[in-house]
Amino acid sequence: MGDQDAGSDEGVGLRRQIAKPLHDQKLPGFRFWFQGLLMLCLLGFVVFLAFSDSTVPWIEKFSLQKQYRRFLNQSRKVPVPAYLVHPKHRAFLNKMKEKKTPIPEGVQYNTEPEPLQPQRLQYHEAYSRNYRFVMDNVEVCKVNSPLLVLMVPVAPSNVVARDAIRATWGKDRVVQGETVLTLFMLGLDNRHDVEKLQQENQQHNDLIQSNFLDTYLNLTIKTMVIMDWLATRCPSAAYAMKVDSDMFLNVDNLVIMLKKPGIPHMNYLTGMLMWNRPVVRDKNSKWYVPEEMFPDPQYPTYTLGMGYVFSNDLPAKFVDVSKSIKPFNIEDAYIGMCIKKLGLSPTSPPDPSQFKAYNSRYDRCEFSKIITYILGSSETLKNYWADFKKPGPHC
């Protein structure tokens, strides 16, 4: 029995001695596997940073994440892609500074780099004074004292549209005996060469550029920046019009309308009126607006964004009242919200038939009677205009 017990203890001890080395062998293997996995994850993270955005140093991405979270808290869950200031703006502005292109006299092109985002957003991300002008023609209204300023939002790269407007309805500075200015509002787009923009502005003196990202979703920002420019740079103008770049505009008829007796000089907003328009909830639609951005099922009465006219006292009021209006991406309906918040409402034009959207065909007589028409292309605008300006009666 004793021998058996001894043998048994010896067997247990032997098994323990065998088990211990096996455990010791597994532990280094596990450590090696864990370290390898950690290194693989780290390598994947570095590769992701390298390919995700080569223009932003990786260390800046961490501070950007903090700003990103702060932005989300301040915007009350407004979808971020609509209003974020793009991180590439810093590199874009630095590139402008490096080129050191001579700036024409009277033009301010501020090339100091901006922070990735404003340190403290004022009110909300679409508030116009969160942004600043990097190209400006500050003297244009002081020199001219216009009756009417036509403000055209357009992408920096869309030179074709700007040149077509300059050759057609934006060509004349004097219409019906009144000074009319045509200016183009641009955001930032690093696909378009800054030097070419400077040269274009040096030639025409009609470009204004602010440091928001120029996208379709940012049209509300772009429109509010237009309002801010009118309020601060051109308060002497009597009227202004926000007009899209794909429009046929009969400026003569517009000036005649504004000079009619009884047209208000204050609190006046007119154009093609939209009543009881439902908010589009279809996610596949270009005009989709989620309930978080605009919970009401329909918009207040507003003027269609193709071209609306307003007395020039309103821009400052729009900018101020926008502090308390949550932004959404339908810019013309947003202006409708602003005017409603002011306790005002859009006014039907003296002849509503002059503000038209699409036309099925060109008719010289018809185009002599209207103020607006949406066209398909800049080439169409030039062709229509060439015929429209031919000598002889229109009808």
The whole-model pTM stands at: 0.73
Question: Tokens 């793009």 label which residue?
Answer: 86
**Integer Cα distance of 26 and 28 in angstroms:** 6
> CA–CA separation, 186 vs 247, rounded Å?
17
Give me the architecture of the 89-388 domain, per CATH: Alpha-Beta Complex (3.90)
Give residues with Cβ within 8 angstroms of 62, minimum separation 6: none
Q: CB-based contacts of 300: which residues, under 8 Å, 6+ apart?
A: 333, 336, 337, 339, 340
Which residues, in sequence order, are bridge partners of residue 153?
185
pLDDT for res 35? 67
Angle CA 39–41–42, to nearest 5: 65
Left if phi > 0, otherwise alpha if psi is -120 to 50, otherwise beta: which for 57? Answer: beta
Give one DSSP letter per residue of 300-351, joined into a string: PSEE-TTEEEEETTHHHHHHHHGGGS---S-HHHHHHHHHHHTT---B--SS
pLDDT, tens digit, 9 for 90 and up, residues 156-204: 999 999 999 999 999 999 999 999 999 999 999 987 788 999 999 999 9
Interstrand relation of 372-374 and 273-274 (parallel, antiparallel or unpaired): unpaired
**Lowest pLDDT segment from 101-110, 112-121, 307-316, 353-362:** 101-110
Domain definitions of the chain by residue range: 89-388
pLDDT tens-place string over residues 35-64: 666 677 666 665 555 444 443 333 333 333
Q: Which DSSP string do the residues of 59-96 spell out, in sequence order? A: HHHHHHHHHHHHHHHHTTT--GGGTPPPTTHHHHHHHH
Beta bridge partners of 180: 148
More confident residue, 74 or 308: 308
Alpha carbons within 13 angstroms on the beta-carbon side of residue 187 total: 24
